[in-house]
Amino acid sequence: MEEISKTQKKKEALSLQALGEQLVKLSKEQLEGINLPTEIHDAVMFAKTIRKHGALRRQLQYIGTLMRRCDTEPIREALGHLEQGNYRKALEFKEMERWRDELIAGNRALIEEILTKCPDADRQKLTQLIRNAEKEQLNNKSPRASRLLFRYLKEIHTG
């Protein structure tokens, strides 16, 4: 069996501490979705309450120490899934923004594309929202109708 160098041990300890830091940055709901050992879960929840920098640093070191005792691969996988979900949500958000902007700019072919992608969409409501947003833009009014159009697109996309 090979002996692990001191440098390698430090790198592993720092990576576990960084993993703990990622856990502390998550919301309580996201943390509940990850199957953490009770000891680590409690330490992470306590770290969320700490406001002093030095105390937080020590608590993160403690979380790293606790992580040395358990298998961290499932935790890393869960964090990876969370990141992928956030990336997917960001892409969907950008797509809906693009749809809204193109619809207001007059791209009527996009309506058919949206209706095929989102079968729950109501053509009449969609065209009415587009018309209101176009009028609003022509009159340089506040983007209330544009926001309503975006909300409707979001609703039919996720619904």
CATH of 87-158, one of 1.10.60.30, 2.40.110.10, 3.40.50.2300, 3.40.140.10: 1.10.60.30
CA–CA gap between residue 140 and residue 14 (Å, rounded) = 54
CATH class of the 9-70 domain in this structure: mainly alpha
Task: For 34-79, write each residue's pLDDT tens digit.
Answer: 889 999 999 999 999 999 999 999 999 999 999 998 888 989 998 9
Q: For position 61, what pLDDT does the model report?
A: 93
pTM over 0.85: no
CB 59 within 8 Å of CB 49: no
At 36 the three-state DSSP class reads coil
Q: How many Cα atoms occupy the beta-carbon half-sphere of 83 within 13 Å?
A: 9
CB 50 within 8 Å of CB 56: yes
* Matching fold, domains 9-70 and 87-158: yes
Residue spans of the domains in the chain: they are 9-70, 87-158
Burial degree of 35 (CB within 10 A; 0-12, 13-18, 19+)? exposed
Sites in the chain below the pLDDT cut of 50: none
Q: For position 89, what pLDDT does the model report?
A: 85
Q: How many Cα atoms occupy the beta-carbon half-sphere of 123 within 13 Å?
A: 8
Q: For position 23, what pLDDT does the model report?
A: 93
Amino acid letter, residue 10 = K
